[in-house]
Amino acid sequence: MRVVLDAFDAPRPLRIAARVIGWPFKVLGHEGDPLMPPVTRALSALGPAYIKFGQILSTRPDVVGEDLAAQLRVLQDKLPPFPAEEAKAAIERELERPADSLFSEFSEPVAAASIAQVHKARVAETGETVAVKVLRPGVERAFRKDIDAFYLAARSIEFLSPSSRRLRPMDVIRHFEGVVMGELDLRLEAASASQYASNTAQDAGFRIPEVHWFLSGKRVMALDWAEGVPMGDNAELDAAGVDRAELSERVLQLFLKHALRDGFFHADMHQGNLKVAADGDIIAIDFGIMGHIDEYTRRVYAEILYGFIRRDYQRVAEVHFEAGYVPPDRDKDEFARALRAVGEPIFGMDATRISMARLLAYLFEVTERFGMETRTELILLQRTMVVVEGVARSLNPRMNIWRGAQPVVEDYIKQSIGPRAVVHDLRETVKVLARFGPRLPGIVEDLLIAQSQMTEREPRRVWPGALLWSGLGAAAGAAIMALVVGLG
């Protein structure tokens, strides 16, 4: 913990709090693998939830330093595996058939992460090569222990630091718990992979392995084998002739496209979950954590990004207030100036000239000054943006984030904000209203009866046009339905 806090240049109060809160975990934890570097060893010994934290840090050498990021990259897919025989036994329990009858070949583990490990296998029936993912034994219990510890830490933080309550630590842990519980059911991951593949089928330079449903269950999942160079191996990418500058922009743009266009995105896009195929395509794997954002949130997010790209900080501030991200009693102009102090030092600069650690520290100050609370619905989006930007930087340290994001954001703005978007919204609204079409006569009749009763009880308080308004409501419904037919 001390090494991580040093890397972040954390203030003294935070170091003391971490030491006080962390002592129970030190006492209850185990020693871990002595061959690992200290931080990697500590996180892997603490449990799978802490490994997730280490995976995020591993994508940000600009924050924690090159050496520590390289050490933490082991946590992505090179953790100690469990024996292949245990994996075969789990497959037999889940699929109710011996693994040797399902697979003519079954390798030792080729990758091992916090929740599961992967084996390369050949399907006996078809001869296809697949990746078989098997959950670690006892991983549910290990995560439960970690989450309980997180709840204890969150309660302690709220008690010791009332000002931290705006960060809603308990809500954050509840959100994390929901994400983890979904990740521990590989049937849900298979469904996510299938939906993601459908959404992105037309995206050039990107593909998803196909799910083998008859070889998948709650604790086992099989997908097409993905052959490619790991995205974290720059030397091998260079040897393969890959244009890393182009690749870095494509990673960022694909993430933004999936988040804005589909509202459904890969929320664990570290280097261990990305490969580059021989033809240059990016292959994504591991779909246990996927993010969902609704249409309204997508528009807010796009407008904020677009405002930063155009350096229109006043509009960025207005969007924050309109969306309720900043309390209405705060000064909008002051917030716009604070945003300018965030955006101007990094606009147009390549990544080598930006101190992400200082930027994150200032952003935290801004959120505290303006009373901004944590938005749990945005946690996965914000977390993934940090990870993806880190992956892109690792491929091309001189990349310009804003220039890379601009074409995707501008295209989304054209599609979602303007006359075409208004027509789309009207059509969607009418579709909802149309579902109530068969019930409209009954609804109007009920309103007429209710208004008649009100007139008898309190004749002086009834608006004379109330009955007319009810009739107009039915007529408006018919007119809107006609509009939909015309727009269709």
Q: What is the pLDDT of residues 260-285, one digit of tens each?
A: 999 999 998 988 899 999 999 999 99
The whole-angstrom separation of Cα 478 and Cα 461 is: 30
Per-residue pLDDT at 469 exceeds 70: no
pLDDT of residue 29: 47
Active site residues: 268
Q: Can you give the pTM of this predicted structure?
A: 0.75
Q: What is the pLDDT of residues 77-136, one digit of tens each?
A: 778 899 999 999 999 999 999 999 999 999 999 998 888 999 999 999 999 999 999 999
The fraction of the chain above a pLDDT of 90, given in percent, is 36
Confidence bin at 160 (pLDDT 50/70/90) = confident
* Pairing outcome for strands 282-284 and 220-224: unpaired
Sign for the pseudo-dihedral over CA of 190, 196, 202, 208: negative
More confident residue, 234 or 450: 234
pLDDT of residue 154: 82
What values do phi and psi take at 221, rounded to 5? -145, 140
Per-residue pLDDT at 476 exceeds 70: no
